[in-house]
Amino acid sequence: MRLPFRVVQATCHDTDTIVDVVNSDRLYKTVIPSKFYKDPFLTSEELKNYFATMDLTFFLCREGASVLGVGALIGRKDGDGQLGWIFVVPERQREGVGSALVATIERQARARGMPRIILETDGGAYWAISFYQSLGYREYKRTDHLWGYQIWIQKALSPP
Ligand SMILES: CC(C)(COP(=O)(O)OP(=O)(O)OC[C@H]1O[C@@H](n2cnc3c(N)ncnc32)[C@H](O)[C@@H]1OP(=O)(O)O)[C@@H](O)C(=O)NCCC(=O)NCCS
């Protein structure tokens, strides 16, 4: 029997779990040419460094002792929020885990007075673009990169 899942704020003890969930991804490998694909996508050292240098709050979606997905709110210097590392383990995608993570992050961003949330993803990541569109996010910019383009997506947040 499946337990109800819940989204909780990560602690400093969750670093390896976050890295494992991020590195479980199989989708980006299908659109990023192998010579540009960074494998592993994220290391514990990199994540610790991001925690030390960025305004970063990570969330986990838990089902009992299992972690089904992760995602972060980044506080930007311009006052906006940014979504980072929203990843759901492949075998539990399309069950609402990603939506639950983003809903929690949006609540947190609203409570912090952030007027807007933005994010960037690979222009070929049709699944991610569809996911964010389903949550009310819209494209506002494209920037070139070595094998294609990055797409920038935004959503205005109503005040709390
Ligand atoms: C993108 C991702 C986070 C979505 O998480 P999820 O838990 O599977 O998403 P949800 O179940 O909440 O999906 C909500 C809606 O988003 C859209 N969506 C989600 N995955 C999709 C896919 N693979 N293709 C097309 N639309 C998709 C659908 O409209 C879906 O509603 P539906 O299932 O009722 O049709 C997940 O696919 C993932 O981890 N992908 C790899 C990492 C990644 O791309 N992260 C985004 C980084 S910017």
Q: How confident is the model at residue 2 (pLDDT cuts 50, 70, 90)?
A: confident
Other C-beta atoms closer than 10 Å to the C-beta of 8 total: 12
CATH entry, 6-156, from 3.40.630.30, 3.40.50.720, 3.40.50.10860, 3.55.10.10: 3.40.630.30
Q: Which residues contact 108 (CB under 8 A, 6 or more apart)?
A: 57, 73
Interval between CA 133 and ligand 1 midpoint (Å): 10
Q: At what angle do helices 44-53 and 15-23 cross, to 10 degrees?
A: 120
- Residue 159 banded pLDDT, cuts 50, 70, 90: confident
- 107 pLDDT more than 80: yes
Integer Cα distance of 116 and 118 in angstroms: 7
Instruction: Tell me the domain boundaries of the chain.
Output: 6-156
43: which DSSP letter?
-
Question: CB under 8 Å, gap of 24 or more: what pairs does 21-26 form?
Answer: 21/67, 21/69, 21/70, 21/87, 21/88, 21/89, 22/70, 22/85, 22/87, 24/87, 24/89, 24/90, 25/87, 25/90, 26/90
Question: Which ligand 1 atom sits closest to the C-alpha of 25?
Answer: 41
Per the confidence metrics, is the pTM higher than 0.85?
yes
pLDDT in tens, 21-69: 999 999 999 999 999 999 999 999 999 999 999 999 999 999 999 999 9
Query: What tokens appear for 45 in the block?
Result: 């050292």
Residue nearest to atom 16 of ligand 1 (CA): 131
d(CA 9, CA 23): 20
Q: In the structure, what pLDDT confidence band is assigned to residue 1 with cuts at 50, 70 and 90?
A: low
Encoding tokens for residue 119? 């994010």
CA 78 and chain centroid, separation: 19
User: Ligand 1 centre from 98 Cα, in Å?
Assistant: 6
Residue 132 CB partners (closer than 8 Å, separation 6+): 119, 121, 153
Write out residues with Cβ below 6 Å of ligand 1. Answer: 25, 27, 86-88, 93-99, 119, 121, 125, 127-128, 130-131, 134
Cα 135 to Cα 99: distance, rounded to the nearest angstrom: 7
